[in-house]
Amino acid sequence: MNEILQYTLQGLAAGSFYALAALGLAIIFGVLGVVNFAHGACYMLGAVVAAVLQDLLGLNFWLALLVVPVVMFVFGVVIERLLVSRLIALDPLYNFLLTFGLTLLLVDLVKRQYGVSGLPYTRPDLLTGQITLGALRLPTYQVFVLAFSLLVCAAVWLLMTRTRIGMIVRASTEKSELTRALGVDVNRWVTPVFGFGIALAGLAGVLAAPFRAITADMGSSFIIILFAVVVIGGLGSIVGAVVAGFIVGLVEAFGQAYAPALSQIAIFVLMALVILVRPAGLFGREENA
């Protein structure tokens, strides 16, 4: 019984990374129609920037949670203005290839600068150790990751459903032409939304820094799972991305616990099943599919 609770927490903690990053991917796809293949590289950059700032300026984990997403937001804005916006009128495949190329570039630049062995990162003291509940011992850091990412997801959801900005973004996602016709300048929101999506990937990277190896390649397998998450949740669906992120985390954890050889495949079997039953994903709209 204890183990099942532990696997559940581990699954939800792993899912937290997927949920946060997939949320960014979904928002970008929703508003720009761009499938951002560089999202895994941005997750990696988030972790690398956190480690480098800690090394150079002694920036601690708590400040990194604030500073790194801002840095990544600016990075996203620059990428959107310089590159993505030029291809947006063309077939979506062009931006897919662009971001794929960007991934190769970023990964190799990081390898060139920082090598391949990974960068060290010091955990905050507050988050070391375990929380003991009876016979149950839960790593403090995993509990924190879960709570923090739920908080961020809830905040994004509130932003999207309770504010005027969110309303405009949602309207542009769903009925871009109609929103324009009503006098809303949709294009004004495109750049910040792209930056925001990249910032979420960077934030997931900061959360990964104390817990995972910080290497140039850390985003390569991450992005593959992330696509599965977004497809399961429904392309462009914000709630879907978050829910599917946690589901995939749980599938991964229980798969590893009871059928290790099948744990990776299980995620993609789930994806195939969802596409068969609901081609638009769990929370996707048929018309977007």
Partner 1 sequence: MSTKRIVATAVVTAGVLALSACGNAGPGGAGSDEFTDGKLVLAVLNDQSGVYKDLSGPNSVKAVEMAVADFQERHGDDAVVEDVEVTFADHQNKPDVANTKAQELYDRESADIILDVPTSSAALAVATQAAEKEKLYFNIGAATTELTNAQCNKYTFHWAYDTYQLANATGTAVTEGGATDWQIIYPDYAFGQDMDKSFTAAIEAAGGTVGDHIATPFPNDNFSTFLTRAASAEPDVIGTMQAGGDLINLVKQYNEGGYVDQGIELAVGLMFITDIHSLGVEAFNGVNFAEAWYWNFDDENRAWADRFMEETGTRPSFAHAANYSAATQYLEAVQAEGTDDADTIVGHLEGKEIDDVFLKNGKIRAEDHRVIHDVYLARVKTADEVTEEWDYEEILATIPAEEAFKPVEDSTCSFG
CB of 261 to partner 1, least distance (A): 7
Q: Is 257 in the site for partner 1 (CB under 8 A)?
A: yes
Say if residues 88 and 210 touch (Cβ distance below 8 Å): no
Tell me if 117 contacts partner 1 by CB under 8 A: yes
Among 86, 111, 175, 188, binds partner 1 (CB under 8 A): 111
Task: Choose which of 89, 135, 261, 276 interacts with partner 1 (CB under 8 A).
Answer: 261
* Residues contacting residue 43 through CB under 8 Å, at least 6 positions apart: 17, 21, 201, 202, 204, 205, 208, 218, 219, 222, 223
Q: How far is the CB of 43 from partner 1 (least distance, A)?
A: 11
Reading phi first (left if > 0) and then psi (alpha if -120 to 50, else beta), residue 120 is in beta
Please say which residue, 172 or 256, places its beta carbon nearer to partner 1: 256
The structure tokens listed for 94 are 């062009």
Minimum CB–partner distance for residue 93 and partner 1 (Å): 28
The only residue of 81, 170, 180, 212 in contact with partner 1, by rule CB under 8 A = 212
Span 226-255, contacts to partner 1 by CB under 8 A? 252-254
Q: Taking a C-beta distance cutoff of 8 angstroms, is the pair 8, 250 a contact?
A: yes
Query: Binding segment for partner 1 among 84-92, 114-122, 171-179, 231-239 (CB under 8 A)?
Result: 114-122
- Alpha carbon of 2 to those of 21, 28, 135, 137, 207: distances in Å? 29, 39, 7, 9, 26
14 binds partner 1 (CB under 8 A): yes
**Identity (one letter) of the amino acid at 183?**
G
Using CA atoms of 75, 76, 77, 83 in order, give the dihedral in degrees to the nearest 10: 100
Q: Contact region for partner 1 (CB under 8 A) — 60-68, 91-99, 168-176, 205-213?
A: 205-213
Complete DSSP assignment for 178-203: HHHHTT--THHHHHHHHHHHHHHHHH
- Residues 166, 263, 282, 288: which binds partner 1 (CB under 8 A)? 263
Contacts with partner 1, residue ranges (CB under 8 A): 3, 6-7, 10-11, 13-14, 108, 111, 115-120, 122, 128-130, 137, 139-142, 210-213, 215, 217-218, 221-222, 252-254, 256-257, 260-261, 263-264
